[in-house]
């Protein structure tokens, strides 16, 4: 009986050991099989461009893909950094796809990137909700201060990595930003968190909050960079709401080298995308660059 008990105890230890080994093996397999969302996006982007057009940079601890397209001229004016609206990839906009190549013909190297994953939206705490509900200008979205700060921090790290990369190439830096990305960048520039570029092109700039969006026009006009402000009838309603006030504040504050231009035609129409390039190139020529 004693021998049988020893055998049973030994068998139990063996089974426990095997179970632990199998569990660890399964966990390792899952870790190697299931990739993070950012890594999956990284892999997808690698299929959309030639290997020599792909640059991998790091924003914080998150790797991201940049599409580089070199100038096709014998001279270099500088680097154009292209950033689409939040939650939009650099290949999700036909206009940006067109722009990142068309600017090459005018002496610009382009770096096109996305803005990364959106910050997680958390419910407003009690004090924030009371302030929000007391406001007569409530927004469609209830965005907490924590969310806004995290979104701006994410964008700050992204643009810093891109500007550092752009410093490796000759010439000046031009930032072309769209939508809420343009809005949050304006706030970062206005607050002196990051250094303003030599040229700032805004395409339908807005912020998804009524009060912040109303203040955005004055902040744009307060920047020191030459500003090209592009709008169209197809813009986000937040952006369309400030078209006149953006121009008005630029006149009031005597903003040097501010120009506002309207794009005509349907979105995705090639002639409209070509017009966007011409507006940017014409503005650069006006600046003497």
Rounded CA separation 276/78 (Å): 18
270-287 helix and 94-102 helix, angle to the nearest 10 degrees: 50
Other beta carbons within 10 angstroms of residue 81's beta carbon come to: 23
More confident residue, 191 or 20: 191
Supply 87's token pair.
């939650």
End-to-end CA distance of the chain: give it in Å, rounded: 95
For residue 37, what pLDDT is reported?
60
d(CA 8, CA 10): 5
More confident call, 171 vs 123: 171
**pLDDT tens-place string over residues 213-260:** 999 999 999 999 999 999 999 898 999 999 999 999 999 999 999 999
pLDDT for the residue numbered 264: 83
Higher-scoring residue by pLDDT: 93, 206: 206
Question: What are the tens digits of pLDDT across the range 120-157?
Answer: 555 545 555 455 445 445 555 567 788 899 999 999 99
Phi, psi of 112 (to 5 degrees): -110, 125
Task: Check pLDDT > 80 for residue 167.
Answer: yes
Label residue 289 by pLDDT band (50, 70, 90): confident
What is the per-residue pLDDT for 46?
67
Q: How confident is the model at residue 32 (pLDDT cuts 50, 70, 90)?
A: very low
User: Taking every pair of C-alpha atoms in the chain, what is the biggest distance, in angstroms?
Assistant: 100
For residue 163, is pLDDT > 50? yes
Q: Give percent of the chain above pLDDT 90.
A: 57
Orientation of helix 179-190 relative to helix 210-222, angle to 10°: 60
Q: What average pLDDT does the chain have?
A: 83
Report the pLDDT value the prediction gives residue 189, as an integer from 0 to 100.
98
269 DSSP assignment: -
Count of other CB atoms within 10 angstroms of residue 53? 15
Residue 130: strand, helix, or coil: helix
Query: Bigger pLDDT: 61 or 228?
Result: 228
Would you place residue 2 in the very low, low, confident or very high pLDDT band (cuts 50, 70, 90)?
very low
- Nearest 5°: the CA angle 60, 101, 194 is 35
Tokens, residue 39: 């890594």
CA distances in angstroms from 14 to 5, 6, 10, 18, listed in the order given: 14, 12, 6, 6
* H or E element, residue 265: none
Q: What stretch of H or E contains 202? A: strand 199-203
CATH topology of domain 37-287: Rossmann fold (3.40.50)
- The better pLDDT of the pair 121, 189 is held by 189
Provide the residue ranges of all domains of the chain, joining segments of one domain with +: 1-34, 37-287
């Amino acid at each position: 009986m004693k021998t049988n008990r020893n055998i049973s105890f030994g068998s139990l230890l063996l089974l426990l050991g095997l179970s632990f080994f199998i569990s660890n093996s399964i966990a390792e397999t899952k870790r190697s099989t299931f990739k993070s969302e950012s890594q999956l996006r990284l892999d997808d982007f690698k299929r959309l461009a030639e290997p020599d057009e792909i640059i991998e940079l790091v924003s914080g601890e998150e790797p991201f893909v940049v599409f580089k397209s070199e100038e096709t001229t014998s001279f270099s004016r500088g680097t154009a950094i292209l950033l689409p609206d939040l939650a939009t990839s650099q290949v999700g906009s036909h206009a940006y796809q067109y722009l990142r190549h068309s600017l090459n013909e005018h002496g610009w190297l382009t770096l096109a990137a996305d803005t990364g994953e959106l910050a997680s939206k958390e419910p407003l705490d009690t004090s924030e909700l009371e302030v929000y509900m007391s406001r007569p200008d409530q927004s469609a979205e209830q965005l907490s201060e924590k969310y806004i700060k995290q979104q701006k921090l994410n964008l700050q790290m992204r643009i810093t990595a891109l500007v550092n990369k752009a410093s490796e190439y000759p010439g000046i830096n031009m930032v072309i930003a769209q939508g809420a990305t343009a809005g949050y960048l304006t706030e970062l520039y206005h607050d002196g968190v990051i250094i303003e570029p030599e040229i700032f092109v805004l395409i339908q700039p807005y912020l998804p909050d009524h009060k912040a969006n109303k203040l955005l026009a004055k902040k744009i006009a307060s920047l020191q960079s030459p500003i090209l402000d592009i709008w169209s009838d197809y813009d986000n309603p937040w952006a369309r709401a400030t078209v006149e006030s953006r121009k008005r504040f630029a006149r009031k504050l005597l903003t040097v080298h501010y120009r506002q231009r309207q794009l005509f035609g349907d979105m995705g129409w090639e002639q409209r995308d070509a017009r966007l390039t011409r507006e940017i190139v014409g503005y650069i020529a006006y600046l003497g660059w």
